[in-house]
Structure formats: C-alpha cells, structure tokens
Amino acid sequence: MASSSTSSMQKSFKYDVFLSFRGIDTRKNFVDHLYHALQQQGIYTYKDDMRIKKRKRISDELIGSIQDSKFYIIVFSKNYASSPWCLDELVKIMECHKTTQHNVYPVFYDVEPTEVRKQSGAVGEAFAKHEKAEAAEKWSEAMKEAADLAGLELKNTADGHEAKFIQKIVEDISLELHTINFSFDKKLVGIETRVNDFVSSLDLGINDVRMIGIKGMGGAGKTTLARAVFDKISFRFEDKSFVENVREVTNTPLSGLKSLQEQILSDVLNDKDIRVSGVHEGQNILKRRMRGRKVLIALDDVDDIEQLEALAGEHDWFKSGSRIIITTRDEQVLLAHRVTLIHDVNLLSDKEASCLFSRYAFGREIPVQGYQELAEQVVHYASGLPLTIKVLGSLLFGKDKAEWKDALERLKTIPLAKTLKILELSYTALEEDYKEIFLDVACIMKGGTRKDQVIKVLESCGFCAKIGLRVLQLKSLITVDVYRGYEFVSMHDHLREMGMNIVRRLHPKMPKKHSRLWKNDEIEHILANDLGTEETRCIRLYTEKLDPYILIKGLAKMKALRFLYVDMRDCLWNLELDTFSPSFPDTLEYLSFNQYPFTSLPKTFQASNLVTLEMRRSKIILLWEGGERKVLEKLRFLDLSYSKLKTLDLRLVPNLETLTLTGCSDLVEFPDGIWKLESLKSLELDGCKLLEKLSEDLHRLRYLEKLNLSSTSIEYLPESISILKHLKYLQLDRCQSIEKLPEDLGQLKSLEHLSLSSTKIQHLPDSIYMLKHLESLNLDNCTLLEKIPEDLGQLESLEHLTLSYTKIQYLPDSICMLKRLESLKLTNCQLLEKLPEDLGQLESLEQLSLSSTKIKHLPNSICMLKHLKSLELNFILLEELPEDLGQLESLENLTLSSTKIQHLPDSICMLKHLKSLNLGDCWFLEKLPEDLGQLKCLDKLHISYTKIKHFPDSISMLKHLKVLKLHDWASFEMLPEDLSGLRCLKVLLMLSTKIRHLPDSICMLKHLKLLSLAQCWLLEKLPDDIGRLEFLEKLRLHHTKIKYLPDSISMLKHLKVLKLDECQLLEMLPEDLGGLDCLEVLRLSYTKIRNLPDSICMLKHLEYLDLDHCSLLEKLPEDLSGLVCLQVLRLPYTYIRYLPDSICMLKQLRVLNLCECSLLEKLPEDLGELESLEFLNIVGTSVWFIPQGIHNLIVGLHFCGSRRLLHSFGFDVEDEDVNEDKYIYEYEDDYEDQYGYGYEYDDEEEDEML
C-alpha cells in the first residue's frame, strides 16, 4: 500500500474509501461483500452503483468523489482494463496519489500484479482494444504505477478464501485510517517519536501476552506517554481500560485496590454495576473473565508489587495478543513482577523544551521577540522536565519582562512547590539510611561522578553504598550511565534541588545548623566567623580566597563532621604548619582537599576515623611532619596524585586498599614498605615519569587487582609479577622503555585487561595463551610488533583485540578460535595483506576494522559472522565483496570509502539491519543494486566520487532513511521521479552533481530539515511546491543557475538559513519573502538582485544579511526597523547611494560592512544610535563626513576607513600601515564561525538535524 504522512491527510474528506472496480466482474460478488464489510466497520465508502449515468468518460461528479476520498481501493480483475471508464478513474486516482499523496491500495482479484504491470495475459487481452486510443499511453503508465504499489493478491492471501481476504483488506484499511485520523494533542512536543518508539517495542503483530513498564522520575511524562500510546493503539483491542493514579487510589481507605479491580472489570465487560467483595475475589474474577479477551490495560503510577498482583497477576490471566502497560517511578516493582520489557522515559531536548514552553507561555512554537534570553533561562532551569516547563509556562503567560525576571530570580532560592511535591513522593518512601544516601548524593556530590568514587565516599561514611545506590536508581532518583567503560552517577537538577530543599527547610534561616553545606558564600561566612555547629556533617567547598588557616580553624566546632571536600581553586598558598596550627575534626571519615597548601597533615589531627584521604595537586611532601608516625588504621583509600611527594612510608597505612599516585613527577622510587600492604587492591602510578623500576617485593601484594604503570620510565617488569594471582588490570601504555614482557606472564591467571599501547614491545611471550580470563588486549601503536603468538586463539575469554598501527603481516589461524571476540581492530596495519580463511568462525564478532591495510579480498567465510554490526573497509585495495555478504544479518554499519570495488553484490539488499552505508570515493563503482530499497533500516547513505549516474527506483522504499549525502559526484544526473517513500528523510545533500531538476515528489518529504544543492551548476529551478517542505530549516542553493525562487518558498515557516551565494542568474526575490517567520540567515552575495522586496523587513528573526557584490543593488527598503534581530549587514561592492534612516533603529546590529560602496556619500545622522555596533567598514566609499553620534560608539568600535577622514574628525589612527583587508576578513570570519553557516557540512550539523 502506498501510504501518506498524517500531515497530508489533515483536510476533511467526504469519503474514507473510493472503490474502483469493473462491474461485470465483481459488482455482485466480491466488491459487494467488501463494500458491506467496510461499511460495517464504520468506514464510509464510495461505490458507484449506477447512480451516475455512464458516459464514455468519467464525469466531474465522479472526479469530485475521487478527490474527496482518503483511500482508493483498486480491484483489478480480468476485464478491468477493457473499460475506458475504469482506466480514466485509475489515471485520476494515480494523479491524486502523486500530487496529494492519497493512499492507494491495489487488490489483484483474479489477475497477477505482473499482468497489470506489463499488460499481459488476460489484462493484455482486455487492454488490446485500446492500443490506438489517444489515452492508451497514460492508461498503460497508470496501470504500471499502480501495480508497483504494495497491495494484496487473492491467490496468495488467506489461501484464496475471499471472506478472509476481505477481512484482511478491512483490517489493513482500518489500521491506515486510524493512523491518518489519529492526532496528538498539539501541546505535546516530541510525543509522536516517543510513542512510535514505544509502540514498536510492543510488537503488536506477535500473538503473545506482554507486560511493558515505563519508568522515570516524577513529572517526566510517564503518564502522558502511556496515555498517548493507549489512545493510538486501543482500536486494535477488543476491550481496554486505563487505570489512573494507582498509588493514590490504593492508599485511599474507602476505595483501595478493590475499586481499581472493579474499574477494570467495568471497562472491559461494559458493566457499570459490577462489584467485588474483596481483593482476593477480584483477582479470581479478573483471571476468569479476562482469559477470553484480547485486552489493552494501562496501570498508571504503580508503586507496590501488591498492586500488580491484584490487577495484572499473571500473563495467563489474559488472552494472547493482550498488552499491559505499567508506569512507575520504582523499577524494582517491575522486576519483582517479572516484567522484562522496561522503557525509560526520555526527558525533552533543549529544542523540544523550548517549543513546549513557548506553547504554554506564548501560545506559539518559538519565544516572542525580546523574550528569547529569558525563555532560554527557563528552559535551562527545567532541564527537560515537562512538568516544570508546563508549570512555568502557565505561570509566566501574560507577564511582563520585569515579572519574568523576578520569577527567575526567585527560583534560585525557592524551588517550584508543585514540582517538589510530586518529586518528594519518591524520597518519602525511602528507608532512613537510603534517605541519608540520597541527601549526600544530592548535596555534596557533583553531577556525573564516577560510581566507584561515589561508593568510596559513601562507604567511607559507613553506608552500604552498593545496595543504597541501586535502590535510588530503581526508584528513578539517580541514573547510572556508562561512558568509555566507566559507570557515572547522575541526578536530575530538580531532584538535586529537592534534596537541598529538604536539608534547608529544617532551619531555613540558619545555614550553620544545616546537616550539609554546599554553598560557598554560606560556608565561608560560617568558617570565617567561627559559627560552626555539631549539626553539620558534610561540607563541599570551592574557594579561591579563604585563608587555609581560617578554614581549618573554623572547622573546630563541627564535632560531628564526617565528610569534607575542599578545592582551593588555583591556590598560590605555600604554607608551613606549626605546633599551634589548627586541626581537622577527628570525626572525619572522608577528607578530600585539592591543592592542599601545607606540606603535611596537622600534628593535632588524630585521623583515627579517616577512611579516605585525597589531596590531589597538593603541596604535601610527607604525611606527618617532624618524624610523627601516626598510624591510620582505618584508611582504605589514599590519593596524592599530582603532588610534590618524593617518597611515602606506607607502614603508616597498613590497611590501604587503593593507592593512587598518578602524575607524581617527583617520585623517584617505589613507595617504601609497599609489600606490607596486604589488603592493597589498586596501585596507580601512571605519569610518575622518574620511576624507573618496581620493587622486587611487588609479588607480595597478593590481593592486588589493578596495576597502572602507564607513562613511567620503567624498563622491565620483575619476573615475580607473575605470582600476582588476583591481578585483573595491567596497564603499561606509553612505557617507552619497555621492550619485552616476562616470559611467564601467562601465570597471571586472573588477568582480564592488558594494555600495551605505544610501547616498544617487539613480541609477546608465548605463555600469553595461558591467560584464560583475558578479555581485552590492546597493542595499538606498538610499531615494532611484527607478529603475535601462534597460540593466541587459546585466549578463550578474549573479547577485544586491538592491533592497529602495528607491523604484523598476518594473523595466526588460531585467531579463528576466539569464540567470544567482539571487536578486532586492524586499522593501519600497512603490512597486513590477508585474513585467515576461517575468519567466519569468530561467532561473537561485532566490530571488524580493516581500514588502511593491504587487504585485497575478504574470505568468503566472513559472511558467517552473524553478529557482526560494523565492518570498516576504508582505504584498502579491495575490488569486490563476497557475493553472500547479505548473510551478515546483524550488520548495521558498512564503510567502503576509497576502495576499488566495481559493484555491490545483490545480496547486500538482504542486510535487514543495515543503518549506515558509506560509498565515498569509490571511483570504480558504476551502479547500485536494483533492490537497494530492501534495506529497510538504512538511515544514512553517503555516496561521492563514483561513476553512478542514477539511483534505482527502489530507493523510494527506504522509509527509514534520514540522511542522503551525494557530493562531488560529477556523473550523477537525476533523481528518481518518485521520492515520496522517503518519509523520514531529514538531510538531503547533493553537492557538485549534474542534476538539472528536482522531481516534484521531493516536496512530499515532510520531515526534510536540510536541503543542500550547492554547486549543482546545471540546476535552473526548484519545484513550484517547494513550500510544502514544512519543516525545512536550511536551504542551500549557492553556485546554481536558478533564476527565481517559487512563490511557495514563503510557506517555509521553519526555514532558518537560505543561501543563494553565487546564483549569478538570480535577479529577484518573491514579494512575500517576509513570510519566512524563522529566517535567521539570508545570503545573496554575487547575485543580480536589483532590489529587495519590502516584505524583507518583516523578517524579525533575521540575524545575518549578506549582499556582498550585488552590483546591481542601488537601494535598501526604506523601513528596516522590523529587522529587530539583525546583527550583521554586509553591503560591499553594491551601488547603494544612501542608507535609510531606519537603519539606526537596528539595536542589535554589530557589523556594518559598506566596503567599496563607491556611490555612498554620507552616513545617517543618527548612526550613533546603533548601540551594539562593533565593526564599521567604509573603506572605498565616498563618505566625507562622519556623524557626531559615532563618537559615542568609539569605545569598542572597530572603524575601517580613510586615514585622512578619520584624522580630520578626531579619531586616533596608528602611523604604521595596517592590512585592512586581512583585518576585515578575519573579523567577519569570526561571525561565520559563530553562525556556523560555512559551505561545509559536518557531523555536528547532522546530529543537530537528527
């Protein structure tokens, strides 16, 4: 079926369906049954029942009925083509399909699609009588086009049973009609994408019972998403029920779970009087009555497993095909109920948040003029939380700027009560120790802290951190994200704000009594005035000015302080402690003092409770001064990174588990007594550049798990290192002196990660095959490494192998035995010429990087890599791909740039999961497979420098394609006529092609945001309906031959950038150009524009207007005052004779370039009113007088003009020559960079468009 976007079907239609059929074949049987089935389903259908008198040609009335129908069902039968009437109907139907994107549904009743397409068989016989008819050609083309559309064939559907066939048609039409008719609340920004993503996870086509959870923090939009999904798909189910506020109702004494059970039964059974005596009976009734019904049930705001057990106990309560949607803040509830499909609700992006806020605050999609900066502050504060955005939008609606500023200032100290009330429900439900953990994370830990660091802090303070963080995560109070292999703990700004508010409100006016302090000014005031109290338990301070003596002294009264974090921020203090120096509180369990200015700890500090001590970038030389030997029995974590430490007596920290001395560049010897640290698990010495050897006693660290020696001067590892039975991580990156490893390295039985990048290793010890737990082996940039051990394949746990930039010439055959290997990186192995023939045995391989090697062919077995997701083959001598490449069923990314391939195997079209295909610089590639459109998941296609002349027609079937890049493709001449199927396309780049015109169907790409036709030298015009690209934001037409812009361009309400540079045949702009409400950049340099339409002054968001070298331009519109956002106006080499006085009203104008406007004799008297002006260039003009008001701007104004002129009006000019042109261009280039509107397209812009 050829479908359309929802937006194309917004007009009102008289009929849902128009039936086109041949009466003598199907009127009294098939069509009659189909008509009544459609009507019974509530689908209003037009069927010609002889009410319209038959003529040789269809009447205007019938044409009107065709145009007034949403859907067309064409029933092709043996005699359909014998009727000129039917064929004229068909032509009109296909015309409507192409021009207005109506849906066409071909049904092949007793003929095959190929008979209709080729007019052969029975269809050919029927059509033969029209061969000489004037309309024969267009009839034939219409049949071909219709036959190419997706439809249904009776003999291949439902085993040829007409009743089932009709049922299938009705189901399909019902689904499509619901999709068209369904619309979301216009205030719900971004909901359509989120709903579609969620619906796809429901797998509605699979006949099983599914429970799906939606989890997220309060106010994030869980209920909104659930309701939107429910509304969108409910028509597919026999019965349905949306149960709101489960948590709240459950806790109501007079109703409770029993009332919710009654609601579900009432909704599903359509019985308002149903009652249950108790929850247990309700469960039994639900189980009994639901089992025979395919239901859709949504349970909103669930917070207890008992609720799910009472309302949706087991899957077998429901009929196959049922779906149960559950929203909750607490993921544990879902896990306990064995819900395996859990969907995280995504907060709004900044762009979506701005749009949503504008709808509530201004009643439009963008902020009104003058409120942009204030609106940005609101959006930043809301941090993507829909609840906050709606509350603030409604609150600020109709308020003036002063009231906005007051409201924003208030939010700095007083959070929104409505938001806090909803968020705090999750906190209230926590147990006491978890509440303390939450408050610690909210108040004293920065966002995006590594999870292991958070655990260290919390454990230092006596909490069960691992389970505590997991509870908070499950309750959506924190998030844990993975970045580059590390887990990071984050918290939404409003949740952090809530935690801080909980601490503050106990003593709202007395910070000294707060349990946690985090505001610098409050802390500095308390410490400087000796106002500390025993209520304070935690402090986080960033300071540049507080005297360290005063700081430590001010802590004296804080007798219960357990956590202290201080960052002196570029502190220049260099102090000595004396016997009278103040001390830290002895209750401290966690002490972190970055840039600590003293050379040791205070003598009076007992440190008996200290678990963690961190003094990064400090002046510390010794732990204790003057021979003090205080033993820190409880200390487990010590970090003195980037300090002045020269030696360290580790006998003072006998129970240390983690020692971090990263970047201690003065450390010349291994820490004394390290062998006594029996509990040591992690030792990090990376960046200790003077460290040349390790202690021979290293092997005595029997519990050591991590050893990082990267960027040291160590020359070798002691043989005894192989005794470290618990060692998991060994990092030797950039150890330039290491040339070999111990021969018995294989004795490290627990080793999981071995990283040797950028070392001088020439070979690996043979024993390496014994590392049975090794998961990662990194040999990147080991430029002397020529081979790897033959037995490498015995590393049975290996998942990641990096050999890039080495001198290896081959891979041992045993590598094919690595059954767990997920990534194999061989980039820039310039001596590598071939791969093992059995490479396909790497059954877990997901990433294979072979770029810049000498590989000429791939082994056929590569097609057996069923889990391969990324295959990188750039810059290699490859001439062909394996014919069975299509068997790589998981492949998502295929890059072939700068290869010698001449064709792509047809099987490539079988790659059902391929998302990105890069064919850049494939000079010998002449064509694409005809079935390219079968790549259903393809979303990025990049083609450049090939011999391909055109696309296969099937490209229009790439319904998920988002980015299509075709540049520097001199052979490419035309696009397929039908592009309407590219319904998701957002970016279309055609740079330097030979294309002469764009197909009209390009105007159907409703989601297109960027269209670039730059340097398409032969392109002379745009389609007249280009204005239908309603979401287009950037249109680049520079260096084309277009002579005019179609009037419809003014309909592009989202267009921000219009580039027409070097369109040397362009003479005029549309009169209503001012209709481009969002236009920010307009570039018209080197065109033949003679004048600008007056409506240009309506472009209230225009920031950049370039008319450079518009040599025929003689004047500007008189009223420029409407260009309230204009910042840059470039008029070099134009023939303007004067500037309108209204230019002085452009309060945002920063750059005015009038260079070489030789006919310009004077500047407006009030030019000094341009309060934002930074740059004025009048070089090469005839200006002889500078208005007095310019003197008001001279501070900060860059003024380029005649030296004599400037001198004569009292401006200082340097005596030496100045390269004005160079200065001008450098200054204006800053604005090019600022606006980001250069000629090149980069990945950052692509991400923005997506």
The CATH number linked to 484 is: 1.10.10.10
DSSP secondary structure string, 1004-1064? Answer: G-TT--EEE-TT-TT-----TTGGG-TT--EEE-TT-------GGGGG-TT--EEE-TT-T
Tokens describing residue 85: 């009437």
**According to the model, what pLDDT value does residue 10 have?**
47
DSSP state of 830: T
Using left for φ > 0, alpha for ψ between -120 and 50, and beta otherwise, residue 832 falls in beta
Tens digits of per-residue pLDDT, 774-795? 999 999 999 999 999 999 999 9
Kindly report the CATH number assigned to the domain that includes residue 91.
3.40.50.10140
Same structural domain, 152 and 70: yes
How many Å apart are CA 53 and CA 519, to the nearest integer? 85
Tokens describing residue 514: 């707060």
Same structural domain, 311 and 201: yes
pLDDT band at 225 (very low <50, low <70, confident <90, very high): very high
How many Å apart are CA 495 and CA 413, to the nearest integer? 15
Q: Which of 77-81, 384-388, 1192-1196 has the lowest mean pLDDT?
A: 1192-1196
Total number of domains constituting the chain: 4
Q: CB-based burial of residue 1249 (10 Å sphere; 0-12 exposed, 13-18 middle, 19+ buried)?
A: middle
**Strand ranges (E), 303-364:** 323-328, 341-344
- Say if residue 600's pLDDT is above 90: no
Residue 251 belongs to some domain of the structure: yes
Residue 466 belongs to some domain of the structure: yes
- Of 224-233, 416-425, 1039-1048, give the range with the top mean pLDDT: 1039-1048
Structural domain that includes position 56 = 6-181
Q: Name which residue leads in pLDDT, 448 or 1110.
A: 1110
Residue 16 belongs to some domain of the structure: yes
pLDDT band at 1205 (very low <50, low <70, confident <90, very high): low
How many Å apart are CA 319 and CA 882, to the nearest integer? 47
- Say if residue 546's pLDDT is above 90: no
pLDDT band at 580 (very low <50, low <70, confident <90, very high): very low
pTM: predicted TM-score of the whole model, two decimal places = 0.76
How many Å apart are CA 435 and CA 356, to the nearest integer? 33
**According to the model, what pLDDT value does residue 131 have?**
72
pLDDT band at 880 (very low <50, low <70, confident <90, very high): very high
| 43-45-50 Cα angle (round to 5) | 160
Same structural domain, 330 and 474: no
Q: Determine contact, residues 1012/989, Cβ cutoff 8 Å.
A: yes
Residue 1186 belongs to some domain of the structure: no
493-504 helix and 432-444 helix, angle to the nearest 10 degrees: 110
Nearest to 757 by CA among 783, 793, 775: 783
Nearest to 759 by CA among 742, 784, 777, 776: 784
**According to the model, what pLDDT value does residue 227 have?**
92
- What's the rounded mean pLDDT across residues 893-916? 95
Q: Name which residue leads in pLDDT, 235 or 1113.
A: 1113
DSSP secondary structure string, 645-696? Answer: ----BGGG-TT--EEE-TT-TT--SPPBTGGG-TT--EEE-TT-TT-----G
How many Å apart are CA 355 and CA 367, to the nearest integer? 8
Tens digits of per-residue pLDDT, 371-386? 888 888 888 888 888 8
Residue 115 CB contacts under 8 Å (≥ 6 apart), including other chains:
121, 122, 123, 124
Q: CB-based burial of residue 237 (10 Å sphere; 0-12 exposed, 13-18 middle, 19+ buried)?
A: buried
Tens digits of per-residue pLDDT, 233-245? 888 887 899 999 8
Per-residue b or e along 770-781, where b marks 16 or more CB atoms closer than 10 Å to that residue's CB: bbeebbbbbbbb
Question: In this structure, what are the phi and psi dihedrals at residue 934, rounded to the nearest 5 degrees?
Answer: -75, -10
Nearest to 851 by CA among 869, 881, 827: 827
**According to the model, what pLDDT value does residue 311 have?**
94
Q: Determine contact, residues 382/388, Cβ cutoff 8 Å.
A: yes
Q: Determine contact, residues 220/347, Cβ cutoff 8 Å.
A: yes
Per-residue b or e along 623-642, where b marks 16 or more CB atoms closer than 10 Å to that residue's CB: bbbeeeeeebeebbbbbbbb
- Say if residue 771's pLDDT is above 90: yes
Q: Decide which of 381, 414, 447 is a domain's last residue.
A: 414
Tens digits of per-residue pLDDT, 726-767? 999 999 999 999 999 999 999 999 999 999 999 999 999 999
- Say if residue 52's pLDDT is above 60: no
Same structural domain, 195 and 317: yes
How many Å apart are CA 68 and CA 80, to the nearest integer? 23
pLDDT, mean over the chain: 87
Find the radius of gyration of the CA atoms of the chain.
37
Same structural domain, 368 and 429: no
Q: Determine contact, residues 980/957, Cβ cutoff 8 Å.
A: no
- Say if residue 67's pLDDT is above 90: no
Tens digits of per-residue pLDDT, 411-468? 887 788 888 888 888 888 899 999 999 999 999 987 778 888 899 889 888 899 999 9
Same structural domain, 429 and 457: yes
**According to the model, what pLDDT value does residue 676 have?**
82
Same structural domain, 228 and 153: no
Residue 402 belongs to some domain of the structure: yes
- Say if residue 7's pLDDT is above 80: no
Q: Determine contact, residues 690/665, Cβ cutoff 8 Å.
A: yes
- Say if residue 563's pLDDT is above 70: yes
pLDDT band at 1218 (very low <50, low <70, confident <90, very high): very low
- Say if residue 217's pLDDT is above 80: yes
pLDDT band at 573 (very low <50, low <70, confident <90, very high): low
Share of the chain above pLDDT 70, in %: 91
- Say if residue 3's pLDDT is above 60: no
How many Å apart are CA 765 and CA 790, to the nearest integer? 11
Residue 33 belongs to some domain of the structure: yes
Residue 1155 CB contacts under 8 Å (≥ 6 apart), including other chains:
1132, 1133, 1177, 1178, 1179, 1180, 1181, 1200, 1224
Tens digits of per-residue pLDDT, 82-99? 888 899 999 999 888 877
- What's the rounded mean pLDDT across residues 645-658? 88
How many Å apart are CA 247 and CA 299, to the nearest integer? 10
How many Å apart are CA 687 and CA 690, to the nearest integer? 9
How many Å apart are CA 965 and CA 967, to the nearest integer? 6
Same structural domain, 340 and 432: no
- Say if residue 1214's pLDDT is above 50: no
- Of 251-260, 744-753, 1174-1183, 1201-1210, give the range with the top mean pLDDT: 744-753
Q: Determine contact, residues 1103/1078, Cβ cutoff 8 Å.
A: no
**According to the model, what pLDDT value does residue 1110 have?**
96
- Say if residue 969's pLDDT is above 80: no
pLDDT band at 210 (very low <50, low <70, confident <90, very high): very high
**According to the model, what pLDDT value does residue 671 have?**
74
Strand order in the sheet with 69-76: 45-46, 15-20, 69-76, 103-108, 152-153
Same structural domain, 208 and 140: no
- Say if residue 252's pLDDT is above 90: no
pLDDT band at 137 (very low <50, low <70, confident <90, very high): confident
DSSP secondary structure string, 901-922? Answer: -----GGGGG-TT--EEEEET-
How many Å apart are CA 883 and CA 590, to the nearest integer? 63
Task: Give me the amino acid identity at 318.
Answer: F
Per-residue b or e along 204-213, where b marks 16 or more CB atoms closer than 10 Å to that residue's CB: eeeeebbbbb
Q: Determine contact, residues 339/315, Cβ cutoff 8 Å.
A: no
How far is the first Cα of the chain from the last one, in angstroms, to the nearest whole number?
Answer: 27
- Say if residue 8's pLDDT is above 60: no
Tokens describing residue 341: 């499909």
Residue 62 belongs to some domain of the structure: yes
- Of 86-90, 694-698, 1200-1204, give the range with the top mean pLDDT: 86-90
Q: Determine contact, residues 604/624, Cβ cutoff 8 Å.
A: no
pLDDT band at 51 (very low <50, low <70, confident <90, very high): very low
Tens digits of per-residue pLDDT, 512-521? 999 999 999 9
| 239-213-434 Cα angle (round to 5) | 140
Torsion of CA 67, 70, 72, 73, to 10 degrees: -150
Residues designated catalytic: 89
How many Å apart are CA 1149 and CA 1096, to the nearest integer? 16
Q: Determine contact, residues 216/476, Cβ cutoff 8 Å.
A: yes
**According to the model, what pLDDT value does residue 1223 have?**
44
**According to the model, what pLDDT value does residue 888 have?**
96
Q: Decide which of 414, 442, 462 is a domain's last residue.
A: 414
DSSP state of 801: E
Kindly report the CATH number assigned to the domain that includes residue 334.
3.40.50.300
Question: In this structure, what are the phi and psi dihedrals at residue 541, rounded to the nearest 5 degrees?
Answer: -130, 130
Q: Decide which of 298, 316, 344 is a domain's last residue.
A: 344
- What's the rounded mean pLDDT across residues 1086-1098? 94
**According to the model, what pLDDT value does residue 616 have?**
93
Q: Which of 166-170, 212-216, 753-757, 1025-1029 has the lowest mean pLDDT?
A: 166-170
CB neighbourhood size of 682 (10 A): 18
Tokens describing residue 982: 């590219």
Residue 711 belongs to some domain of the structure: no
Tens digits of per-residue pLDDT, 1160-1179? 999 998 888 888 888 889 98
How many Å apart are CA 919 and CA 1077, to the nearest integer? 38
- What's the rounded mean pLDDT across residues 659-674? 85
Same structural domain, 74 and 133: yes
CB neighbourhood size of 1087 (10 A): 26
Give the long-range contacts of residues 127-136, CB within 8 A, separation 24 or more: 127/81, 127/82, 129/82, 130/81, 130/84, 130/87, 133/84, 135/84, 135/87, 135/88, 135/91
Same structural domain, 367 and 300: no
**According to the model, what pLDDT value does residue 324 have?**
95
DSSP secondary structure string, 47-61? Answer: ---S-SPP-SS--HH
Same structural domain, 32 and 169: yes
- What's the rounded mean pLDDT across residues 16-22? 92
Tens digits of per-residue pLDDT, 163-176? 888 988 888 888 77
Give the long-range contacts of residues 389-393, CB within 8 A, separation 24 or more: 389/348, 389/353, 389/356, 389/357, 389/360, 390/356, 390/360, 391/416, 391/418, 391/419, 392/357, 392/360, 392/361, 392/416, 393/356, 393/357, 393/358, 393/359, 393/360, 393/361
